Amino acid sequence: MRSVLAATIGGVVLLSSACSGDTETPADVVAGDASAAGSQLAASEWLMHGLDDAETRFSPLDQINAGTVARLGVVWHYDTRSLRGLEATPLIRDGVLYATTSWSNAFAVDAVTGQELWYWDSAADRVRGARACCDVVNRGVALHEDKIFVGVVDGRLVALDAATGEPVWDVQTTDVSQPYTITGAPRVVDGKVIIGNGGAEFGVRGYVSAYDPETGALLWRTWTVPGDPSLPFESAALEAAASTWNGRWWELGGGGTVWDGMAYDPEADLLYVGTGNGSPWNQAIRSPGGGDNLYLSSILALDVESGEIEWHYQTTPGDNWDYTAVQPLLLADLTIDGRERQTILQAPKNGFFYVLDRLSGELISAEPYVGITWAKGFDRTTGRPIETAQARYGNEITLLSPGPGGGHNWHPMSFNPATGLVYIPAQQSSFPYKNDPDFVATSRENLGVAIVPPPGFPERAADAYEPGIGPTLPGANALLAWDPVSQAARWQVDLGNVPGGGTLTTAGNLVFQGRGDGLFVAYSADRGEKLWELDLGNGILAPPVTFAIDGRQYVSVLVGWGSTAGLFGGYPSDQYKAEGRLYTFALDGARDFEPVRGIPRPGLTAIPSDASEEQIANGAAIYGERCYMCHGFGAVGGGQIADLRYSTAETYATIDTIVRGGAYEQLGMPRFDFLTEQDTAALRAFLLAQRQALIASQ
Ligand code: CA
C-alpha cells in the first residue's frame, strides 16, 4: 500500500565534456559509421554525462553481451559515505572514475580496483538543503582537460583538479538570497562549462549560464522567462516572450529552471536545454488570464557562442501542472517517412513523446507514451496538445495524469541505433490538483496548489479518475522500449510499484536498469527478455555506465536510496540508513558478495501523550503543509531522512527548539520560525499518534 501511494504520487513536488576534439567520440560513431568504432580508446571511456554530445547513453562495447551477460558479477565496490539519494552518472577517463554523491560531494577512484584516489567534501551550506525539492542529490561531474566541474546544491560551480580533487576555482552562480539549488550535472561544450539550476517549487526565475573552464569567468547567461517589464529586457526573445504573460509574474519568480536535460550538436553548434515548470505551478495565480508563458516547459536551442535562443518548442503551453521539459534530451538521426532527419527526442513530464527537427525546431511527431488525462489529443497543425475540460482545475480536487512526477522524470533514457529504440524509465502517475485558496508567496514552497493530505486521498482520487489517451501502463512503473519513428512501444517491462532507474544500452544487445528494490537487471535490447539480475541490497535510481580498460569491459552503477521516491514514500525494501555504494561489474566477477545492508530499525516503545484529537488533527495539517516534502507523507520516513515515528523521547520533548529554533539547521533541517509554540506542540501530538499507530500495527 505504501509503495502504491509512493508510486502514484511520487512526484508531488518533484518531482531536476570534454571532448578535446582529437579523438573520435562515440557520438561520431553513432552519427556515422557504426562499424568504425575507430578509436577503441575513445569508445572505451565515458567522458560526458550522456556518454556523447548526443547524450545517447549507447556504448559500442560488446564484450558483455546478450550471450555472456549471465557471467556478470561484482569486481569491486566503493562505499560513498552517503546516506541520501544517489543519482550521478560516473565519468571514466584514463583509468579513473569520477562521480558525485549527496550534498554534491565528489570522489575519484581507480576504475579497475575501486581504490579511492581522492574525496572532496563540497561543504555545502546545509541550510540550503531543504530548498532542494527532491533530496540533496547530484547527477555528476563534467570533465575538461585537467579539471572536473561540480555544481553544488547551494548554487556554486566548483572546478577541481582532476588529479588531486583540490579546488581550482569556486564561483557562486546564483543569488543566495533566492531559493536556487543545483542538482544537475554541468556539461562542457565548445570549451565552456554550462550549468543551470532549480528552485521553481519555491519561486525563482530560471536561467542557464556558461563559464570559462580555466578561470570561472561568466561568459553568458540566458534567462528562460522574462523579468520585470519596467526594466530593460535582456534580449529580444524575452521581450517577445513577455507578451505571453499576464499579471505580475516576475514578483513570483516565473520558473522555467534549467535543472537537468541538455545535449549538443557540434555541427550545428547548437546547445539544447530543457526548461522547467511555472513558479508557482498554478497558472491562474502566476499569470492570471492565461497565456503560453514562454519559455516555460520548453526545449530551447541556444547558440553556444552567445547563449541566444535560436529556436524554441514549448511542450506545455501555459503550464499549470509542474510539467517540466527538463527531462533528458537525446539527439538521433532517424529515417522518418523516407527522409533522413536530424532529430532531438524527449519524453517530458507531460506524457507526450516528442520528435523534433533539431536544426529548425520543427515538430515531426508527438504521441502519448503513457496514459494521460490532461490532454485529449494533439493538434499537428498548431503543434499543441488539446487540453481536456478538467485540465484547468479549480477549487475542487481534480485528478489528472500525469502528476508532477511526470510520465518520465530525470532518470536518463538511452537510444540504441541497432534496435532503433529509446529505453524510457516511465511511470503512470497522477495527482489531485486543486487551487490553493490561501496562497501567499513565500520563499518556501510556492505551488499555488493545495496539497491534499494523504488520508483518504487514493479513495477520493479514484472517484475522479477518467480514462484518458495513450498507453496506460499496467503498473505504476515500466521500462518502455519506445520506437520514436512509429511512436509506439515495441516492448515493455512492467515494474509494478517499484520505481525504475536510468538506463544504459550497448552494442551487446543489452539494456541495463537498476530498480528501487535493489535489483540490477540486464534485458535484451531487441526483445526485452530478462537475461541477468543481481540484488544489490539498496534502492537504485542512478543510470549505469560502461567502459573498457586493458581489454576488459566494466559496468558501474551508484546504488543509494532517497530522491523523490524515497522522501515521499519511505523505503522500497527494509533498508534503513543504508550507505550508498558504487558497484562495478565485469564478466566472471563475484555473484556471492555481501550487499550493503541498513541498520535494523529500533524497537518502539509507546510514549504517553495527553494530546487531544483536535491537537493531533492540527498537527497533521501543519505536517501536511510543511514537513511531508522531506519526511514523507504520514511521517513514513523519507529516504534516509529521519523517520519521525522512531525519534527518541528527548527529541519529541525538544521539538520546539528543533523546528522553531533551528537546532538541527546544520544537519539540513530548516528553521520554521514563523510557526508558533502551539504549532510545534500539535506536530508532536501528530507524530506521537503516528508512532502509536505504527506500534499498534506491529
Ligand atoms: Ca518542478
The per-residue pLDDT for range 6-46, each reduced to its tens digit, is: 333 333 222 222 233 333 333 333 333 333 343 444 459 99
Q: Residue 671 Cα, ligand 1 centroid: separation in angstroms?
A: 23
Average per-residue pLDDT for the chain: 89
Q: Which residues have a Cβ under 8 Å from the Cβ of 385 and sit 6 or more positions away? A: 316, 317, 350, 352, 366, 374, 375, 377, 378, 379
- 354 has which bridge partners? 346, 366
226 membership: H or E segment, kind and range = none
The verdict on residue 111 lying in a domain is no
Parallel, antiparallel or unpaired: strands 270-274 and 298-303 = antiparallel
- The alpha-carbon radius of gyration of the chain (Å, integer) is 24
DSSP symbol at 15:
-
Tell me the per-residue pLDDT of 183-197, one tens digit each, with 9 for 90 and over: 999 999 999 999 999
| 535 in the same domain as 414 | yes
| 40 in the same domain as 71 | yes
Q: Residue 133 Cα, ligand 1 centroid: separation in angstroms?
A: 8
Last residue of a domain, one of 571, 600, 629: 600
Cα 120–Cα 122–Cα 127 angle in degrees, nearest 5: 155
Q: Residue 135 Cα, ligand 1 centroid: separation in angstroms?
A: 13
Q: Residue 286 Cα, ligand 1 centroid: separation in angstroms?
A: 14
- Here the cell at position 247 is 499579471
Q: Which residues have a Cβ under 8 Å from the Cβ of 389 and sit 6 or more positions away? A: none
- Here the cell at position 252 is 513570483
Q: Residue 198 Cα, ligand 1 centroid: separation in angstroms?
A: 8
| 557 in the same domain as 651 | no
> In Å, how far from its chain's centre is CA 379?
29
- Catalytic residue selected from 53, 260, 319, 322: 322
> pLDDT tier at 573 (50, 70, 90 boundaries)?
low
Q: Residue 359 Cα, ligand 1 centroid: separation in angstroms?
A: 28
Q: Among 149, 24, 135, 28, which residue's Cα sits nearest to residue 98?
A: 149
> pLDDT tier at 208 (50, 70, 90 boundaries)?
very high
Cα 51–Cα 57–Cα 59 angle in degrees, nearest 5: 85
| Structural domain count of the chain | 2
| 494 in the same domain as 587 | yes
| 269 part of the active site | no
The dihedral formed by the CA atoms of 460, 466, 471 and 473, expressed in degrees to the nearest 10: 10
Of the two residues 698 and 469, the one the predictor is more confident about is 469
| 578 in the same domain as 652 | no
> pLDDT tier at 128 (50, 70, 90 boundaries)?
confident
Lowest-confidence region among 327-336, 523-532, 638-647: 638-647
Q: Residue 277 Cα, ligand 1 centroid: separation in angstroms?
A: 5
pLDDT for residue 338:
96
pLDDT for residue 42:
46
Lowest-confidence region among 231-235, 327-331, 466-470: 466-470
Give residue for cell 549560464. Answer: 209
pLDDT for residue 572:
55
Last residue of a domain, one of 600, 625, 652: 600
Q: What type of residue is 215?
A: T
pLDDT for residue 439:
87
| 629 in the same domain as 485 | no
> pLDDT tier at 61 (50, 70, 90 boundaries)?
very high
Sheet with strand 262-265: strands edge to edge: 262-265, 270-274, 298-303, 309-314
Q: Residue 482 Cα, ligand 1 centroid: separation in angstroms?
A: 25
Do the Cβ atoms of 395 and 434 come closer than 8 Å? yes
Do the Cβ atoms of 297 and 276 come closer than 8 Å? yes
- Here the cell at position 537 is 541490497
The whole-angstrom separation of Cα 313 and Cα 542 is 28
Domain CATH code at residue 689: 1.10.760.10
Of the two residues 553 and 605, the one the predictor is more confident about is 553
pLDDT for residue 697:
83
The verdict on residue 419 lying in a domain is yes
Residue 677, domain extent: 613-697
- 384 has which bridge partners? 379
The whole-angstrom separation of Cα 344 and Cα 270 is 11
Of the two residues 569 and 649, the one the predictor is more confident about is 649
Of the two residues 437 and 564, the one the predictor is more confident about is 437
The whole-angstrom separation of Cα 418 and Cα 395 is 50
Q: How far is CA 402 from CA 352, 393, 470, in A?
A: 10, 14, 11
pLDDT for residue 32:
33
Last residue of a domain, one of 545, 568, 600: 600
| 681 in the same domain as 629 | yes
| 507 in the same domain as 623 | no
pLDDT for residue 632:
78
Q: Among 344, 419, 412, 331, which residue's Cα sits nearest to residue 31?
A: 331
